[in-house]
Structure 1
Amino acid sequence: MCTRVSNYAARPARRVLAGDIGGTNLRLAVVERGAIEKSVRVPMKEFSSPQALAERSALEISRFGINDVAVGGIGFPCPIDEKSGEPLFSPPNLSFGFEGFIDALSRAAGMRIFGFNDARSAVMGEAMFGAGRERDVVIWHGIGTGYGFAIVDGEQEIFPRANEGGHFKVVNPILDRSAKECGCGARGCAEAYVSGTAMSEHYFQLTGNRLTGEEVGAAFLSKNEVAVKVVHQAMAYLAMNISTGHALTLNGLHVLGGGVAQIGQPLLDTLRIMLRSPGVVSWPRQNDLASKVVLSELGDDAGLLGAAVLAETRDFSFYNPVL
């Protein structure tokens, strides 16, 4: 057991509200010590404003009947202001932003709620309770509607304020004017090539048929030739971003999660082939990076469990009665 996990285990157990807002679903749950007691899932297409999202979230929280819960953490698909816990920008994969959401939900739910980047939440969940619980350095790659990338090193998070590694460049837009435009407004971002949305768009360009990222994954498993081409290209670009994470950490465990990653072992096998291609990995003789990439053990629960941990550790008053 690494220090991060043992230190957390030494803290008093506490029930916490956890949430995960994605491009497809809103998830809310009651969590205690890595176990989900109650949960609910609501499609994001039901909401057209942050006010509607806050009202529905408060309603679902009230249905949990959790009068003893005083703190919560919610993962958002965008950068977060570390001091206020408020989302900084509107996410590229939703039609509205989150202005005033944290404050409105905290008041309606009657508890203190903190916001975190969703990749940050997911990497913490996987590092505490999933595939990374025995490893000091854990790198998360979440492929869903978007693409999230975050790193935990021991008990320290690398660039914790934003965790927008999904917007590292995999194509140089200065040298290559054909670099794809990302929802963030830039070009050449990993998300524009790796995400489920990117796979959906690529498949549409090749066939004229619109499938979701998950549906492209299902077609890939059925050995649809176009879907195979689409997934292979996405994994080639993902290999480049994993190589970047490897250069930052050298000895980290890379965990592949998100809705598209539910394709499972065939997706991982394809990615490992890309990672073993010549020229992708630095110091290849000393590092078999492909063997350091694994599938998430927690699935889409990683973000919920991580948000709960981050909320507990952010609410320092719980651990120090003087505050």
Structure 2
Amino acid sequence: MADDVVVALDVGGTGIKCALVDSAGRVRHGERHPTAPQRGPDAVVTTILDLSADLADTAGRTGLRPRAVGVVVPGIVDEASGVAVWSANVGFRDVPLRELVGKRLGVPAALGHDVRAGGLAEARLGAGRGYRHVLVVPIGTGIAAAHVVDGQVFTGAHGAAGELGHIVVRPGGPPCGCGLRGCLEAVASAAAVARRYAERAEDAAGADRVAALAASGDPVAAAVWHEAIDALADGLLTGLALFDPEALVVGGGLAEAGDALLDPLGRALRARLTFHREPALFRAALGDGAGVLGAALIAQDALNRECA
């Protein structure tokens, strides 16, 4: 009998990660393709459908049986109705992706949000495994969060839960893309760290290099790094007050700094705790594969519901 797998796609503004994943969470086949959003949203949808079909064909040729499909995308996603409501990166507006991919493959389908799906994978399969209440916070170009309880992500009434990056932590601070000033994302994201260092040092450097320079004693880098950690601690404290997690998992580009981030962040957060219980603090374990594994998990969940 053929081994059962699900088809999983993690659609980003630059690339699409694709995989065939079995019920144990093992990737049996993986691919990466460009998104090329400049072609327009209709072309991106066609690419998603074609890649899904190609992966299902690949499964059949290699003795695997595709049983469901999961797709995760950025932006605002209505997971209940399976609609990609809006995405600045890809250009989606009210695209019924779940229906489209399900019809193309003839199997149960699921549509999810990329950050929440990555958080789901970290909670079930990665650094948060074994904890019931997990808050996963990816810190990259932006900052978001996924609140996972008993292996399920809470999406909010309108699919926009977890926007931790748009908590104002520095009133009157740097402008944020959302229109406010001083949001956590505008102060402490990897992009914000790189931008602030470039402004002060008149030298371009990514957040990982800023962390290394700070560790080596560079005063400008150290000041920028300290300000980012201080702001992160303030923002995460709000997250603890709202969600009360057992485990806090930090990922994204900023987490590539490892202990240079987690050690001072843990100390700064601990110093702010009053009635809050301190969560276990971990670096994300799944890297940039978290999203596609999350897509596989929501596909498996859709299949289980269909079979129940």
Measured against the shorter chain, the TM-score band is 0.7 to 0.9
Alpha-carbon distance change, 85 to 101 in structure 1, aligned in 2, over 3 angstroms = closer
Q: What residue number does 2:139 align with?
A: 143
Q: What residue number does 1:165 align with?
A: 163
Q: In structure 2, how many angstroms separate the alpha carbons of the residues matched to 1:140 and 1:212?
A: 23
| Structure 1 vs Structure 2 CA RMSD | 3.0
Question: Percent identity among equivalent residues?
Answer: 30
Q: What residue number does 2:297 align with?
A: 309
Alpha-carbon distance change, 154 to 207 in structure 1, aligned in 2, over 3 angstroms = same
Contact 1:50 1:100 in 2 (8 A): no
| 1:48-197 superposed matches below 5 A | 48=38, 49-64=40-55, 65-67=58-60, 68-91=65-88, 94=89, 96-97=91-92, 100=95, 102=97, 113-160=109-156, 161-171=159-169, 176=171, 178-197=172-191
> Which of 248, 253, 273 pairs up with 2:242?
248
Equivalent pairs counted in the alignment come to 295
Q: What residue number does 1:235 align with?
A: 229
Contact 1:138 1:255 in 2 (8 A): yes
Contact 1:169 1:190 in 2 (8 A): yes
User: What letter matches 1:127 in structure 2?
Assistant: A
TM-score normalised per structure 1: 0.77
Cα distance per residue 1:100-153 (max 9 Å; x no partner) = 372665566665543212221122111111122211111101012221201112
SS for the counterpart of 2:79 is coil
Cα distance per residue 1:254-296 (max 9 Å; x no partner) = 001123212212211121132133xx22326xx445xx21111
Contact 1:50 1:99 in 2 (8 A): no
Q: In structure 2, how many angstroms separate the alpha carbons of the residues matched to 1:130 and 1:36?
A: 14
Q: In structure 2, how many angstroms separate the alpha carbons of the residues matched to 1:179 and 1:100?
A: 36
Which consecutive unaligned segments of at least 5 residues does structure 2 have?
A: none
Q: What residue number does 1:3 align with?
A: none
Q: In structure 2, how many angstroms separate the alpha carbons of the residues matched to 1:223 and 1:41?
A: 39
Contact 1:203 1:216 in 2 (8 A): yes
Q: In structure 2, how many angstroms separate the alpha carbons of the residues matched to 1:84 and 1:154?
A: 22
- Tell me by how many angstroms 1:156 deviates: 4.4
Q: In structure 2, how many angstroms separate the alpha carbons of the residues matched to 1:196 and 1:97?
A: 25
The structure that is strand-richer by fraction is: 2
Contact 2:108 2:306 in 1 (8 A): no
